[in-house]
Amino acid sequence: MADVAARAGVSRALVSTVFRNVPGAGPETRERVLAAASELGYRMDNRARMLRRSRTQLLGVVFQVQDDFHCDLVEALYPEAEAAGYHLVLGATTPDRGELRAADALLDERCEALLLVAPQMPASKLATLTSRSPTIVMSRRVRASEADVVRTSDHEVVATALDHLVGLGHVQIAHVDGASFRSSADRRRGYRTLMRRNGLEAHTRVVTGGATEEDGLAAATRLLDEGKLPTAVVAFNDRTAVGLMFGLRAAGVDVPGQVSVVGYDDVSMARLPFIDLTTVGQDARATAHHSVRRAVARIDAGETAPAEILVPPYLATRGTTGPPRNPW
- What are the residue ranges spanned by the domains of the chain? 2-44, 56-151+284-311, 154-282
CA distances 89 to 29, 60, 213, 265, 314, Å, are: 34, 5, 29, 24, 29
CA distances 153 to 140, 259, 313, Å, are: 9, 26, 8
Residues 158 and 190 sit within 8 Å (Cβ to Cβ): yes
Q: Residue 45 has what pLDDT?
A: 64
Residue partners of 50: CB distance under 8 A and separation at least 6: 56, 57
Overall CATH class of domain 56-151+284-311: alpha beta
Q: Residue 60 has what pLDDT?
A: 97
Q: Examine domains 56-151+284-311 and 154-282 and report if their fold is the same.
A: yes
Q: Residue 233 has what pLDDT?
A: 98
pTM of the model: 0.81
Q: Residue 151 has what pLDDT?
A: 96
d(CA 328, CA 324): 10
User: Degrees (nearest 5) of the Cα angle 54, 78, 270?
Assistant: 150
Q: Residue 328 has what pLDDT?
A: 42
Cis peptide before 256 (omega within 30 of 0): yes
| pLDDT, tens digit only, all 328 positions of the chain | 889 889 889 888 888 888 877 788 888 888 898 898 888 888 766 555 555 556 899 999 999 988 889 999 999 999 999 999 999 999 999 989 999 999 999 999 999 999 999 999 998 899 999 999 999 999 999 886 789 999 999 999 999 999 999 999 999 999 999 999 989 999 999 999 999 999 999 999 999 999 999 999 999 999 999 988 999 999 999 999 999 999 999 999 999 999 999 999 999 999 999 999 999 999 999 999 999 999 999 999 888 889 999 999 999 999 999 999 854 4
Which three-class secondary structure state does DSSP give residue 197? helix
Superfamily for 2-44? lambda repressor-like DNA-binding domains (1.10.260.40)
The residue among 158, 214, 149 whose CA lies nearest residue 184 is 158
Give DSSP secondary structure letters for 301-313. S---S--EEEPPP
Domain 154-282 listed as CATH 3.40.50.2300: yes
User: Given its phi and psi angles, is residue 213 left (phi above 0), alpha (psi -120 to 50 degrees) or beta?
Assistant: alpha
